[in-house]
Structure 1
């Protein structure tokens, strides 16, 4: 039996999706726009020979009718295409659940007000549940900016920093030493319970360290408290007969359901190293599912196209290490959960097509074209392991193994 390796390049879009106008994201294009900005800033094109050979550039050109400067060859191996999302939002859980075969066809609850985002009756319930009678923030904010603005007051008062965004999310930042990591997790668990009837997708613990506003930084001890997917995913079905190994925040995104083994790691090198470590040891009949959060967290949301481009170049180099650990029947998949164009206004996700790339040893280059849902990946995984067919998606396994 084979193994499936899924690398989610978090927040990596290939051009505005057909319904992008509904989200204010017409002309967003994470890949093309960051490549243009990278070239303008550094005077040289992105150097991504391995990704280009897999058809990633070609998929973007097909999705958006855009060209951009890059260094690499034409597609020469692997299947390549691009997928639209049918889930109602452009958030992390929706994208991941849909790629696992379960799209989100309902509306999440949101905190839409930019200031005083959390209603007073909700805050009163949180105060009563947690025993802490106040919060700082209560607004839409960038996570790095808000700890710089409010971190010192948080340390002085012991009051947690609570904020949100355009996503269905309640985020809580607290200092690991002054507030305590366990206290932060417990506070998040309490808030998750209070939000049970509001259909909020995630409560996120955002721990940070440092002594003042000039050196505060978030740590790798983030934890996501997600609601359960609305139906069994392909991970649930796989966990009944094989292994599902989570690397990074995958387990949190799926509320730890359908996961048989978990590895936490912080930073792009560590996430890739952990993936390779599992490739070295994982049994046949396994899924290794990795979220490369830093593309979204460190470069997309922070609107840093050059940093994003450098991270892509790093991933391109590390693909060689991953290739070396692939067995003959393994299939490597590269995809994303949404866009996060680092040149776009604001700092939220962008509604875009995402890449659908698949590679197995010795396979030629095969175009997959446009896929109508991220769930095509989940259906392909089900097909690959002879699992019960998913309700959504169309398998492209035959294109890989032709």
Structure 2
């Protein structure tokens, strides 16, 4: 039997979504704008020269970007490999929608969202959360970037014990609290209660955002983030693999995204390079019929949302530099897929995700693969399912 390794570069969009204007994102192009900034030295803080992604480009990253936008990102341009520019049909541009659709479960309903005007959160929701979780109140209660709102309210949180609650353009409630002073398990329990309270509002995720530090030394988020997501609304690739007797090894936040459903094993790490180590270990351990499903979050969380172009470029180059380690672990019958779940253009206005096409890059030792120029997100999961011998998918078609 075959094995599949599905790696998601969180937020590495390539522009060109046909419906980008519907989301206010016409012209957004995560990869293209990063490459352009590197080419004209606007993103040289901590790095030098044009964007250097030889392994991703050999797989077809530049070609997929050219198909998506009609432009080749500076420093890229390879036309080899099996690649496609993937389109999302789900109604959101968030992490669950992207991952679920990649796994064959397009989101054909509208998520609930919190208000953009005060009060951002319904007062009765916050009152119920405070009562059930025994909280002295809440801070923030706004749309914000997590780093900024923790910096703004961190000292008051330490003084009062009130957690910091915020949201974004996504369907999400995020709760930040000091890992030691508030307590990690208490934060998790608070988020579990918030998950229950958010269910009637159809909120996609509640996220625990622990941090450390103080006003004098600065605050820093820790790797102990935990997502409490709604379970997928229909069967996913993960469900099909598990039902067939295969294992789904989730790396990073994959288990959280799928509400831990059909995930056989979870591997975590403090940063993307540690997650790459875990992915390599999972590749070593994977048996016939297994799916290794990995998410690399820092492109999105550390660089996209914080609009850090140079940091995003460095992260892409670090990921690319490690791909040969993954290639060496591939054996005949394996399929490696590298894709993304949405965009997060660090040159774009605001701090939110951007609606974009994403790359779908494929590699299989000894197989002569050729993909169509364009595909749907669901085609990625359908291709993985067919490769594993699971037959046709309800959504999407196999590309090979």
TM over 0.5: yes
Alpha-carbon RMSD across the aligned residues, in angstroms, is: 1.4
| CA distance in structure 1 between the aligned counterparts of 2:395 and 2:369, rounded to whole angstroms | 26
1:180 maps to what in 2? 183
Structure 2's unaligned 5+ residue stretches are none
Q: Residues 336-379 of structure 1: CA distance to partner in whole angstroms, max 9, x if unpaired?
A: 110000100000000000111110124457342111x2000111
Task: Compute the displacement of 1:31 (Å).
Answer: 0.4
8 A Cα contact 2:392 2:398, kept in partner:
no
Match of 2:50 among 45, 50, 57: 45
| CA distance in structure 1 between the aligned counterparts of 2:191 and 2:287, rounded to whole angstroms | 35
2:63 maps to what in 1? 58
2:87 maps to what in 1? 84
| CA distance in structure 2 between the aligned counterparts of 1:253 and 1:19, rounded to whole angstroms | 24
1:304 maps to what in 2? 308
8 A Cα contact 2:62 2:77, kept in partner:
no
| CA distance in structure 2 between the aligned counterparts of 1:243 and 1:290, rounded to whole angstroms | 14
Number of equivalenced pairs: 394
TM-score, structure 2 length as denominator? 0.96
1:349 maps to what in 2? 353
Structure 2 residue 35 is matched with structure 1 residue 32: no
| CA distance in structure 1 between the aligned counterparts of 2:115 and 2:396, rounded to whole angstroms | 32
Structure 1's unaligned 5+ residue stretches are none
Q: Residues 42-94 of structure 1: CA distance to partner in whole angstroms, max 9, x if unpaired?
A: 36211111111111011101110123321x66233x31011111101001000
Structure 2 residue 195 is matched with structure 1 residue 192: yes
Structure 2 residue 21 is matched with structure 1 residue 21: yes
Secondary structure at the counterpart of residue 174 of structure 2: strand
1:271 maps to what in 2? 275
Structure 2 residue 161 is matched with structure 1 residue 158: yes
Match of 2:211 among 196, 208, 213: 208
8 A Cα contact 2:63 2:77, kept in partner:
no
C-alpha distance 39-84 of structure 1, shift in aligned 2 (>3 A)? same
Secondary structure at the counterpart of residue 292 of structure 2: strand
| CA distance in structure 1 between the aligned counterparts of 2:391 and 2:180, rounded to whole angstroms | 47
Task: Compute the displacement of 1:107 (Å).
Answer: 0.3
Task: Compute the displacement of 1:390 (Å).
Answer: 2.1
| CA distance in structure 2 between the aligned counterparts of 1:138 and 1:388, rounded to whole angstroms | 47
8 A Cα contact 1:84 1:374, kept in partner:
yes
2:114 maps to what in 1? 111
C-alpha distance 213-228 of structure 1, shift in aligned 2 (>3 A)? farther
Secondary structure at the counterpart of residue 328 of structure 2: helix
Match of 2:383 among 373, 376, 380: 380
Q: Residues 301-354 of structure 1: CA distance to partner in whole angstroms, max 9, x if unpaired?
A: 110111111111111110011111111111110011100001000000000001
1:254 maps to what in 2? 258
Secondary structure at the counterpart of residue 291 of structure 2: strand
1:126 maps to what in 2? 129
8 A Cα contact 1:114 1:140, kept in partner:
no
| CA distance in structure 2 between the aligned counterparts of 1:377 and 1:366, rounded to whole angstroms | 14
**248-257 vs 124-133, which deviates more?**
124-133
8 A Cα contact 2:12 2:358, kept in partner:
yes
Secondary structure at the counterpart of residue 373 of structure 2: strand
C-alpha distance 164-73 of structure 1, shift in aligned 2 (>3 A)? closer
